[in-house]
Structure 1
Amino acid sequence: MNTPNTINCLVVDDEPLAAKLLTRHINQFAQLHLVATCENALEAFDLLQKESIDLLFLDIQMPGIDGLKFARSLQSPPSIIFTTAYRDYAVESYELDVVDYLLKPITIDRFLKSITKYLGQINSGRTPNHFQEVIADHEEPFMYVNTNRKFVKVVFSEVLYVESLKDYVKIHLPDQHILTKEKISEFEQKLPDFFLRIHRSYIVNINQITAYTMHDVEINDQEIPIGVSYKKEVMKYLRGNNNAFLT
């Protein structure tokens, strides 16, 4: 049974083994729902008239209408990830503003990067189909974070702070921690402007700060250090927003 946050997927590929591999990848993610697989563009076109599809995995070289021509023919296409064994179509495919271009055979790691990129586009406002309504209905802005091959919703205002652990970030919430594989510098770009980088290893939610000194900020009973190279900008920011810390 689909939930409102389900990402409806369609695979269009005339190679059974390639379609089977994509199906296996899709089924590993709780938020992804495979609506159907089609062997050609005509089958896919008929299905798109009947079903709400958010994400289309589209092979390029197919009999009849190829994937590029099919993508151009769609007036209101879903988000598209091209899948192909050939590098030659990369430039032409990106002119269609697709999410990604996957080379076969598609590994689970590369597949995960594509899904993460797709979710990033959702969070930035490039939102397909029913996702636009789902996000619009929420008063609190949020993002989906991948953890253990499951995408978990994180409401920005509930985040206390973010901690870097080498190639991972640990998102500290009031009642739990979420670990996701991403560098903190990349994760920082996805956060709203009420988050502040105070250390090479820490980003804090300024609305959660309960006290600060020249050396650290406090969030509840947790002391978080201010890095030497960040101190000047952090102090300038905090002192310029003193009203935010008055109760």
Structure 2
Amino acid sequence: MMKLSCLIVDDEPLSRAGIRHLLEQQPQFAIAAETDNGADALKLAKLHQPDIIILDVELPVLDGLTVLKQLNHQSAVILCSGSADYAVHAFDLSAVDYLLKPFSPGRFQQALLKACSRIIDTLVTNKAEPTLQYVDRLTIRDPGRLRLVDVNDIRWIQSAGNYVEIYVYSQAKCYLLRESMTSLQQKLDPALFARVHRSYLVRKQDIAELRPGDKGDAHIMLKCGAVLPVSRRHRDQLAEMFGYPEQ
């Protein structure tokens, strides 16, 4: 049976031992190496090219987010932390999952399953042609002219019938684009934008707060102060970004 190699990076010996114990219970995973700091993590990742990296955020020398930015190998990275503060940034950097310490064996198993799915998706994508390219600007038709909107300028997008309203950083008013929300979502990088509702698509790094409701729904507050609804369908995904335990 082919085994998936794992690198454990955590500066707490008890945390490393706990992760090691959980991995050793499952024959499909093999521990390639362990370390307690970010600098060695990069060296070991380059040496072993592990399939999965379980990476603590608070590390000496280099923190986990810095390590994740500098990784050259396409490992599936599970970030861990005692704080939910770094969750949005972690997903922006394409982390597979974000575990809030202390996590249960079941929650860890869920993260491993996500890592396995990412590995499979990567293998399929590498074989597929052509590779999907996301747009970096949108063309909006105004009366008598065409306007180019940089995707990096977009805060959130709101459905408006046969149109979408595009809210940006650079000005107070929104742009109106004749396109469906589903079609537009397929053009935008999912590492940058999250669908939070049938009518809303939001830049992940702009989400400041998640406010769960008592009927399965929720709201998010953006850094600009705007409050947008979150549907039941998308609430769990947003809760994972913030490291909230499953209900």
Output the TM-score relative to the length of structure 1. 0.48
Q: Which has the higher contact order (CA 8 A, sep 6+)?
A: 2
Structure (1 or 2) with the larger CA radius of gyration:
1
TM-score, normalization: structure 2?
A: 0.48
